[in-house]
Amino acid sequence: MARTIGSHGPTTLEAIRKAGVRLIFEHGYEAMSLRQLAAEVGIQAGSLYNHISTKQDLLFDLVQDHINDLLRELDLALEGKADPVERLRAFVAFHVTYHMTRKREVFIANSELRSLDAKNYDAVVALRGAYEQRLAQILTDGMSEGVFEVVDIQVATFAILALLTGLCTWYRPGGRLTRDDIIAAHEKLVLSGVAPQAAAGQASHGSRGPRTAVAGS
């Protein structure tokens, strides 16, 4: 590969980060070597140390920046929304959209936690906890206002996040559903899962009639 134009400064650091994301995503952190990373960027292996301290530091910076972006953009998506139902819809729409468009970063942040040393691991887990707390607070507020009903806030938080993040394993651009279709489907799943039982029972009762008529026709 040709040498990167301007093999120093912010331009090269950004090239290193982008190459690092791609190589870790494709090969895994342990399999990626700094020599391979330097070749990808187009600089000498020794020149990497002008921009990163260690391979571990690169991984930590990538994961930390990803979660900081996640937190910052979520707060913007929730800004000005007070109603818990509206906030939960906004959370779902944001989380699904982000995970559709940042699949590599999401994969690395989830799969390479094991590769972080103890100090970096603790820092990342704390950041993840802050993101989880945003959702937990929405559910708590909804419980207080009587619009949500969940058995356990922490269990519900982890279950919703697992449901929403799961699309990373199957989503491919250009499929039969639009992005809005996928967001709407996830919103319905999440909101129906936290709806008070009385409301859910009414919805189920109201939809039972047409199914019976079809079955008997």
Instruction: Note the pLDDT of residue 198.
Output: 58
pTM: 0.81
Q: Alpha-carbon distance 209 to 214, whole Å?
A: 9
Q: What ranges do the domains of the chain cover?
A: 1-52, 55-201
Q: Alpha-carbon distance 110 to 61, whole Å?
A: 14
Q: Alpha-carbon distance 128 to 46, whole Å?
A: 33
Angstrom distances, CA of residue 191 to CA of 13, 198, 202: 42, 14, 15
Topology of the domain comprising 55-201: Tetracycline Repressor; domain 2 (1.10.357)
CATH architecture entry for 1-52 = Orthogonal Bundle (1.10)
The answer to whether 157 and 183 have CB atoms below 8 angstroms apart is no
Q: Alpha-carbon distance 149 to 45, whole Å?
A: 56
Q: Alpha-carbon distance 157 to 169, whole Å?
A: 20
pLDDT, block means (10 residues), the chain with 217 residues: 48 92 95 93 88 93 95 96 96 94 90 95 96 97 96 96 88 82 95 80 45 31
Q: Alpha-carbon distance 59 to 65, whole Å?
A: 10
The answer to whether 188 and 181 have CB atoms below 8 angstroms apart is no
The answer to whether 108 and 25 have CB atoms below 8 angstroms apart is yes
Instruction: Note the pLDDT of residue 103.
Output: 87
